[in-house]
Amino acid sequence: MRGILFVLLLALAFNLGSICNSFAEEEKKAEDITEVTEIKEASTEETTVEVKKDDTKTASVDCECEKPAIEVLSKAYISLEEDEWPAAIKACTDAETKITELEKTCKCPSIPIYKKVAKAYSNYAKGGNILDGEEDIDCLKATKLYEEAEKLFEESLSKILDEKLKKEASLISDFCVEENEFVKEECSS
């Protein structure tokens, strides 16, 4: 009888071990399923974010009415590069006027940004004219123009989607900072 009980207990222990292993395997499968679900959710979120980023770029590309603003700002940039301040001031003023007119009909989100760039260009040109065009530098006026231009560039540069325009505006922004430092040094002595 003891032998039979021993065999039964041994069989029972073996079955309990199998049952426990089967529960452990089921629990492991549930963890794997949860992990797979979390991975799928994470990859779905990444895809969604990428799609949203692409939609933003596409929205600007589809905005045809902004092209004249980009063109007029490129012309203003070229005139700024030449350091002929009266011509640059005129080109920048023309850019401001054109973009203000465009703003009435073109509802692209970039138009107000381009308007700030045009104003920054204009201030930079006027500051350059003060430095090069007058015998006595009006330090206060030049500093004010450059600081306002720097602020406008700071507000707009990161929002410009057109890469060529962004590069051009960034270069003028750097020149503006240099000129402002020069004015401060000249005026402090």
At 139 the pLDDT is 87
pLDDT digit string (tens) for the chain, length 189 residues? 565 655 555 555 555 555 555 555 666 555 555 444 444 444 333 333 333 333 333 334 468 899 999 999 999 999 999 988 999 999 999 999 999 999 999 999 999 999 999 999 999 999 999 988 767 788 899 999 999 999 999 999 999 999 999 999 999 999 999 999 998 888 886
Is this model's pTM higher than 0.75 or not? no
DSSP the chain: -HHHHHHHHHHHHHHHHHHHHHHHHHHHHHHHHHHHHHHHHHHHHHHHHHHHHHHHHHHHHT-GGGHHHHHHHHHHHHHHHTT-HHHHHHHHHHHHHHHHHHHHH---TTHHHHHHHHHHHHHHHHHHHHHHH-SS--HHHHHHHHHHHHHHHHHHGGG---HHHHHHHHHHHHHHHHHHHHHHHHHH-
At 31 the pLDDT is 57
At 83 the pLDDT is 81
